[in-house]
Structure 1
Amino acid sequence: MRRTALVAAVIATAGLTTATQAAASTRLEQLARNLVAAGAPGVIVRVDDGRGRPVEITEHAPWAHRLEAGDEFRMGSNTKTVMAALTLQLVAERRLSLSDPAGKWLPGLASGVTLRMLLNHTSGLADYTEDPALRNAILGKDPHRWTAAELLAVGAAHPPVFAPGTDWSYSNTNYAAVGVILERVTGASLADLVRDRIARPLHLTHTYLPADGSWRGRHAHGYEPDAAHMPPAVPAGFSDVAGTPKAGHVDVSGNDPSWGASAGAIVSSAPDWARFYTALMSGKLLPAAQLAEMRTVVGPGYGLGILTATTPCGTIWGHDGGITGYSSSTITDGTGRRTATILVPTEFVYEFDAAPELAEAQRALQDATTCAMFGKPVTAGPAT
């Protein structure tokens, strides 16, 4: 659920070659197959260049659950974009201000932290996912249902990594804090806010904050290697994941994602997420002033719950996400008319840079997907 390399990899795209749109689609199919051949349990690719019917590709290993393009998927840290949108809606309604001291809603939080700092990761708060107390939850072995308030308490108990506003560091604790603030300001649960302010208005029928490890519709099964097959680069403390054994892996689909909460627990689908990005970037969800705030970036190009990067094929906005068994990369252009999503049902090998061949195949697919989104020729070979 920490920031993975999926969006960052877009920056390293290779030189482009000429190709027709049909050839680009064929290339994406081949790269998706390459990803599975390199060890991914499967992949869902969806690309909409804004000029016609989206390209939808699914591939899966012979042993893995069959994927469909509209499968529900745990979106990990893409959740942060939704939480930022909810926050900015309340800013537009004058119920919050980005300059509000976080302590106004969270007594005892480090002095000097503002709502804006939480949203753009400049607060200095330590990341709760680094605390050993979360280990068993990440591994699917903890029956406790974590709340955003409890996760905030875990992160806030650690010394700040820097003084508020003086640096940038990605921390899930920031969005645990945002979740608590949203609930305290509105009196509504996070699940209800996602439903009433995002999913229902946009007709996102597969987007929700789950109450437990269950699903509402057809979903992707997420996997991690079992202890005997976990790559040695994965730390020993993360090698034994709970789940249903299957072909040298464990199926973690039923594991409770509550430890992600407002930082990473949302469920969605590739078509739903495209619709969300289109509404967000076109101004349907936010007034112009708040959308401009969201796109004001610091550090490595991070705005309020969203990243930006410049690639040879165009400037992208988006986020990525990882939660046990599920990795996601979602991007759009500056207008929301073009969108692309890559969903891979495994996470630890990405999180810990434990599979170089898989990472290389992922980069090649990401590069090609980005260019296809802009309607430009895709790379003919592996990324450099």
Structure 2
Amino acid sequence: MRERAWQKFRSSGRRGIRHRAVLAAAAVAAGVMTTGALGQPTGSDASKPDAVRQGLDSLVRDDGVPAALASVKDREGRTRTYTAGVGDLATGAKVPTDGQVRIGSNTKTFTAVVVLQLVGEGKAGLDAPVETYLPGLVRGENIDGSHITVRQLLQHTSGLPNYVKYLADEPRSYAPHELLDLALQHKADFAPGEKWEYSNTNYVLAGLIVEKITGHPVAQEIDRRIIKPVGLRHTYFPAPGDTKIREAHPKGYDRDASGAPLDVTEFDPSWGWSAGQMISTNSDLNRFSSAILDGRLLRPAQLADMRTTVPAEYFGRGARYGLGLVSKPLSCGGVYWGHGGSMTGYETRGGATEDGRAANVAVTTQPTDGTVMKHVDRVVDTALCR
């Protein structure tokens, strides 16, 4: 979830999470992280080094991420995939090509697309108050659902407090209403529409609106409206209590107090729900971003709404936030559109351009040093500008 994903989880000692610090530390000491050919692309011209490969190699070698993965699509639709590092520090297993990862707040873009589809169908209104769909639910100190619009939820201008700040130390399953209740125990951060501030609570409410309007789980609507039509064969919304990643994947890691790596791959992601619960691959994220921009998922009016932005420097210099979609400037001119995600054990960055380019990069840890994520962003820029 784009801010540090559940800080309290990160400091809780990971009770109940499989913990391999000793084995992992031994693997690093033995040089496992440098075995094999780092960053080798697969596909055509696989033997030719390029800047994307070099960028991934640097993330592993210089920034210390266990593994880095990338998928890059050019204007003609040709795709190259890359891996660097080690997929499992305990065994030294290779990084799976285009492996599945937890995509965190990229989930918000899926949720936003479903809401905007409902707007296009005349079943929801962007400027309708949340109260219209969830009567009596959004109430708290300086919080009133009749004064917050659907648009303000999707654009993070509602002023609602971010429930992630108040999650308990012990990882467990959460129902969406529990997440909302955590937020509503605290006063509003600001009046609706007054400014922009990132809050996962907005997208829990967006998911609840989808469920109220359709009568179906938000996961089912995302699958029916986006995943199946676009052909995202490696993307899914895990059920509460589903702690595993279904397909081939690199392990996700954190660090204990001594700095030793911890395997945090398996956990219940229900605390993310429609704001951050999904699993995907870099190539599927490329396909999804491209499908948004080329009009396969939204009608022109709703796509225009989605790309109407406000400044959001939180995502980097020059970044702007639309409705579940971020625009970021490219060093070669123009912008790309995507989101990015932070979830326990994984970080993802990337997006697509209007002329058909797309790139996504994932690393298998949540770096505490913001410089590392700037380096990840640089790899995305390199991939889209080369």
Aligned amino acid, residue 295 of structure 1: R
Alpha-carbon deviation of 1:23? 11
Range with greater deviation from structure 2 (78-87 or 266-275): 266-275
Matched, 1:303 2:338: no
How far apart are the structure 1 equivalents of 2:60 and 2:339?
22
Partner of 1:32: 56
Partner of 1:91: 119
Q: Which runs of 4+ in 1 moved over 6 A?
A: 21-24
User: Are the aligned partners of 2:52 and 2:382 in contact in 1 as well (CA < 8 Å)?
Assistant: no
How far apart are the structure 1 equivalents of 2:291 and 2:299?
11
2:349 match: secondary structure: strand
Matched, 1:255 2:233: no
Partner of 1:234: none
Matched, 1:355 2:369: yes
User: Are the aligned partners of 2:290 and 2:353 in contact in 1 as well (CA < 8 Å)?
Assistant: no
Q: Equivalent residues in 2 for 1:190-205 (5 A)?
A: 190-205=218-233
Partner of 1:77: 105
Alpha-carbon deviation of 1:254? 1.2
Partner of 1:48: 73
Matched, 1:312 2:312: no
User: Are the aligned partners of 1:75 and 1:264 in contact in 2 as well (CA < 8 Å)?
Assistant: yes
Aligned amino acid, residue 330 of structure 1: G
Aligned amino acid, residue 113 of structure 1: I
Residue among 254, 276, 279 paired with 2:288: 276
Aligned amino acid, residue 285 of structure 1: L
Partner of 1:218: 248
User: Are the aligned partners of 2:309 and 2:323 in contact in 1 as well (CA < 8 Å)?
Assistant: yes
Q: For 1:236-265, what per-residue CA distance to the aligned partner results, in whole angstroms no more than 9, with x for missing partners? A: xxxxxxxxxxxx222111111110111001
| Structure 1 pair 366–22 and aligned structure 2 pair: CA distance change class (3 A) | farther
| Structure 1 pair 277–26 and aligned structure 2 pair: CA distance change class (3 A) | same
Q: Which runs of 5+ in 2 are unaligned?
A: 6-44, 313-319
User: Are the aligned partners of 2:67 and 2:250 in contact in 1 as well (CA < 8 Å)?
Assistant: no
Q: Which runs of 5+ in 1 are unaligned?
A: 6-20, 230-247, 377-384
2:105 match: secondary structure: helix
How far apart are the structure 1 equivalents of 2:213 and 2:48?
47
- Highest relative contact order (Cα 8 Å, sep 6+), 1 or 2? 1
How far apart are the structure 1 equivalents of 2:280 and 2:379?
23
How far apart are the structure 1 equivalents of 2:106 and 2:133?
24
Number of residue-to-residue matches in the alignment: 326
Alpha-carbon deviation of 1:323? 0.9
Aligned amino acid, residue 236 of structure 2: Y
Matched, 1:341 2:360: yes
Matched, 1:167 2:195: yes
Residue among 313, 334, 341 paired with 1:321: 341
RMSD: 2.2
